[in-house]
Chains A and B, each alone.
Chain A
Amino acid sequence: MKQGVVEKVSGPLVVAQGLLDAKMYDVVLVSDHRLVGEVIELRGEKASIQVYEETGGLGPGEPVYSTGAPLSVELGPGLIESIYDGIQRPLDAIRAATGDLIHRGVSAPALNREKKWEFVPTAKIGTEVHGGDVLGTVQETDLVAQKIMVPPGVEGTLAALEQGSFTVEEPIGAVKTADGSELALLLMHRWPVRRSRPYVRKISPSMPLVTGQRVIDAFFPLGKGGTGCVPGPFGSGKTVIQHQLAKWADADIIVYVGCGERGNEMTDVLMEFPELVDPKSGKPLIRRTVLIANTSNMPVAAREASVYTGITIAEYFRDMGYSVAVMADSTSRWAEAMREMSGRLEEMPGEEGYPAYLGTRIAEFYERAGRVICAGSEGREGALSVVGAVSPPGGDLSDPVVQATLRVVKVFWSLEDKLAYKRHFPAINWLTSYSLYTRNLDSHLRETLGDEWIAMRDAAIALLQKEAELEEIARLVGVESLSAGDRLILETARSIREDFLHQNAFHEEDTYTSLDKQKALLSLIMHLDGRMKEALERKVDPLVLFAVKVRERIARAKFMPERDLGAVLAIKDEIDQEVDGLIASVTADILPTTAEKT
């Protein structure tokens, strides 16, 4: 191992002299504590290193060892249900080894070295194999079967492959490469986090990532393989949305990256996910989840790495042909970590002190999402969706991180503090948010929910827009001076907001709504709207009409269990009965003779 010498220590930045063979992004070990660091700048004989652990107590003259390899993650069985820090150190194993507090210089392998996995081969010995070809499977949890693939870049003839139980380091077979040498195949391999894993080609998303969150699925859907962002001021609900997505999104694998946020939020996931069951499989949600936790008080450089660690693990599962979703909370903390390192390197600052390459880094990150034809001869299709929270100062959307993100992502869920103050959750502003996937996903939705769903949804969105205009007028002249028809628009729009869009993440029924139930709920509101329009035309008194009792039934419908969908739909009959009754009474008033007769 080549050795250099520390020259300068300034926070997480260490400058070393004499690391002659170091390459950019190589991992080095600093001092005899062997603190992990990464070369981020090379100038003559000097290498600038960002250190992923606390640097207190380091000083000039201490040794720096180069490893000659870039920052990489271990990929193989054992990832699921793990919780890692930003550079894939297993936090549970570290706790077992060193106690409740994280001390520096501790290391533990990311994947358990002792555990044996049952490997069932599917590839045939003697065939030509390439990177991405499936060799066999390991049932990792009852929800996830890992496909063990030929690592990217490896090709040749499959010389051996065995069934049996193996640790991640024991050979399961071998490939004879073109030069005649034999390469052992293991259950695990490594991949550098800053390089995206290869795939054949990208295709555009056409299936919705169903999240069970009504405002998202109905109004601003995310495609499988798509990208979205959730910007908003503190306390507006970014984390709750990310948690809801991690819980209920119909992805096969979830990678949740807690990047520079609160420790308790990770604990929340750790304690809650084993208890929650996946609506599809009935199994605990944790069995499809990988957690990366580099909380705000953990070293800032490892925070910078955490999003890359997360997305690389996600790409690995995507390569197996799975639909994977990555939540990154919060990408602003990642950007701030970049800014801090850049400042210490005394780089020329761009906007708000962020480095000039901020936009490029953000774009590169989101570009790793996508629906793809995976590497390998099978032509598997995989999808990697990414949702990033953004935490702009003061909630100001002109923030460089928000702006750079909006340039690349296709879905914008804009959280507004005014809505959060009113406890309208999710506080997604229905007027300013957008999804650029809507059109691509509609053909699928037409098939599953029918044309009427699209029509109903568009009508609902139009009503909300109309509401905003009418509210302006009403503020000036008073609601009373609006026409009855306009007041109906206000009534229906309020109902859409309160009875459909408003969704309580902490209510056992309300927390998740299937698409079928979403359609049923919206159809009740729109049905009432249609019937009321009719009643107004038939001269029913608006004040009486707007006070119909069935309103309350509609308001409570979202709390009815999924299995009672029939009962939800049956509320339509109550609507008809009540409105018919009102229409009939008016008709009776106008034609008293008929009424007398009956």
Chain B
Amino acid sequence: MIKEYLTTSEVVGPLMLVEQVQGVKYEELVEIELPSGEIRRGKVLEVDQDRALIQLFEGSWGVDVPNSRVRFLGRGIEIGVSPDILGRAFDGQGRPVDGGPELIPDARLDINGSPINPCARDYPSEFIQTGFSCIDGLNTLVRGQKLPIFSGSGLPHPQMAAQIARQAKVLGKTESFAVVFAAMGITFEEADYFLSDFRRTGAIERAVLFLNLANDPAIERISTPRMALTVAEYLAFQLDMHVLVILTDMTNYCEALREISAARKEVPGRRGYPGYLYTDLATIYERAGRIKGKKGSITQIPVLSMPEDDKTHPIADLTGYITEGQIIMSRQMHKRGIYPPVDVMQSLSRLKDKGIGDGKTREDHSDGFNQLFAAYARGKEAHELAVILGEAALSELDGAYFRFSDEFEERYIQQGTEEDRTIVETLDLGWELLRTLPASEMKRVRERFLKKYFLQEAE
């Protein structure tokens, strides 16, 4: 039987303290009935003898100390799932917002999930073609990877994320796939951009949406990504689907976390974020991957905006320490009109090495991208030199690199919002650009590939 308490003694920010409780468990789900009859929810953050500290999920407006009825539900936060969940939209707390009926769940799953046993993981190695050369060619995404986009306010990350969602495919396969989209504190316009894109392409039928927008309570965001990932796990590991999860914007999530930490008066870590931010983010990002013997997979594309475009900001920094690479957007390139404005030097996919090559993309892929990187880096240096000395003062070779890096940005990185390049087009384009440099500069390319792809000699 569920007991009710009228013993709330404090409400501070998103936290409330209830006294004289009995049998309360850590992380237990709590319902708070306001005098108006409205129900709020929260969870137990700490329980010390007969005092329970509760974190509200929906903010504390209207919660009143003497008259709120507090019920401890004896379970953690759960979400109901069934195959009918595809095509549905929920708020940040998992309540339907699409006007559709309540879901009749096959199962109720704890949104915290459980860690995947490292022995049970299968190494992600299946190439996903996104249609972007800067990703496919240089920072290859594979199934089961977590690859965030580090962006900044006003940069076109929604376009890029939506285009990836639209174009992503595994070559030569038609398998059931789904998109799980979690919005945390983004604007209505941005959310609407995604929704109309999903509608336009029909992806909406295979999508599950969780929407916590900028004007929704910040504190609600804490459970949004976990709801989304719980659904993703259900689709991937019970229904054998390949799931792409887009989480945007993680910065807003982290800010909500900071708010709670501050309310608890915890010793703050860097820039006021809690010391456990790394661990907390890891429990989100690590919920990507593949499991041996299971058909489905979870690929994560979290999006975050770097405050002041600073990638050493704790949110970006800790994300980078957990995810398997990052796609970094550059404001400078955006200003020059390059879409996608991806800084490929600072971007990285750590799982690319096992996802490319013969039988996956093409045999020359690895040598090609190593050479492209080396050449682009050298070209960038030439640009720096030219700033000081003038372009005319560059040696012949530096001049060639100088022009190479411009071409590379304008033709290789740049592409249209509807342009879906195949991997072969991307790789060939790379060689075409490299051919503006002398063959003796192709130091990172095996002779075999030099002949075949650079010199284009018949085998």
Contact = CB atoms under 8 A, between A and B. Distances in A.
B351 to A, nearest CB: 7
Nearest to A543: B395
Q: Of residues B50, B318, B443, B446, which shows the largest number of chain A Cβ atoms within 10 Å of its Cβ?
A: B443
Interface stretch (A4-12, A20-28, A107-115): A4-12
B325 to A, nearest CB: 7
A395 B114 contact: no
A271 B324 CA distance: 18
Contacts of B366: 506
A478 B386 CA distance: 10
A262 B286 contact: yes
A422 B378 CA distance: 8
Contacts of A55: 26-27
Given A262-B286, A506-B353, A396 B312 contact: yes
Interface residues of A, number: 75
17 contacts: A10-B26, A59-B25, A234-B321, A262-B322, A263-B286, A263-B289, A264-B144, A270-B118, A270-B119, A297-B286, A297-B287, A391-B321, A395-B312, A422-B377, A423-B370, A423-B377, A551-B440
A279 interface: no
A331 interface: no
Interface stretch (B41-49, B78-86, B93-101, B425-433): B41-49
Interface of A: 7-11, 15, 54-61, 83, 91-92, 94-95, 99-103, 233-235, 258, 260, 262-264, 266-268, 270-271, 293, 295-298, 300, 333, 336, 339-340, 343, 349, 352-353, 391, 393-396, 420-423, 475-476, 478-480, 498-499, 504, 506, 549, 551-552, 555-556, 559
Contacts of B374: 422-423
Interface string B346-389: 10101101000000000000100010011001000000010011
Chain A's interface: helix, strand, loop or mixed, by majority?
A: mixed
A61 B385 CA distance: 71
A556 B442 CA distance: 10
B279 A8 contact: no
Contacts of A296: 278-279, 282-283, 286, 322
A95 B120 contact: yes
A101 B114 contact: yes
Q: Of residues B47, B115, B276, B366, which shows the largest number of chain A Cβ atoms within 10 Å of its Cβ?
A: B115
B286 A295 contact: yes
B314 interface: yes
Contacts of A349: 267
A423 B278 contact: no
Nearest to A271: B123
B108 interface: no
B324 A262 contact: yes
A102 B26 contact: no
Contacts of A423: 370, 373-374, 377
Contacts of B266: 343
B335 interface: no
A101 B276 CA distance: 23
A297 B282 contact: yes
Interface string B291-327: 1101000000000000000001010011011101110
Nearest to A337: B279
Interface of B: 23-28, 45-50, 76, 112-124, 144, 237, 266-270, 275-276, 278-279, 282-283, 286-287, 289, 291-292, 294, 312, 314, 317-318, 320-322, 324-326, 345-346, 348, 350-351, 353, 366, 370, 373-374, 377, 385, 388-389, 393, 395, 440, 443, 446-447
A84 B88 CA distance: 41
Contact of A352 (B237, B270, B346): B270
Contacts of B279: 260, 296-297, 300, 336, 340
B26 A343 contact: no
B71 to A, nearest CB: 15
Nearest to A391: B321
Contacts of A394: 312, 317
A541 to B, nearest CB: 14
B262 to A, nearest CB: 14
Contacts of A262: 286, 322, 324
A201 B164 CA distance: 60
Contacts of A556: 443, 447
Contacts of A8: 46-49
Given A55-B26, A235-B348, A264-B324, A336 B286 contact: no
A10 B353 CA distance: 42
Contact of B25 (A58, A102, A340): A58
Contact of A59 (B26, B275, B318): B26
Contact of B23 (A61, A235, A297): A61
Contact of A103 (B114, B119, B322, B348): B114
B451 to A, nearest CB: 14
Contacts of A396: 312
A75 B292 CA distance: 30
Nearest to A296: B282
A286 to B, nearest CB: 13
A586 B125 CA distance: 56
B117 A498 contact: no
Nearest to B388: A475
A545 B324 CA distance: 44
Contacts of B282: 260, 295-297
A545 to B, nearest CB: 14
A267 B275 CA distance: 27
B317 A235 contact: no
A333 to B, nearest CB: 7
Nearest to A93: B119
A336 B275 contact: yes
Contacts of B388: 475-476, 478
A504 B116 CA distance: 31
A47 B56 CA distance: 30
Given A297-B283, A498-B443, A504 B370 contact: yes
Contacts of A271: 123
B26 A57 contact: yes
Q: Of residues A91, A100, A268, which shows the largest number of chain B Cβ atoms within 10 Å of its Cβ?
A: A100
B118 A266 contact: yes
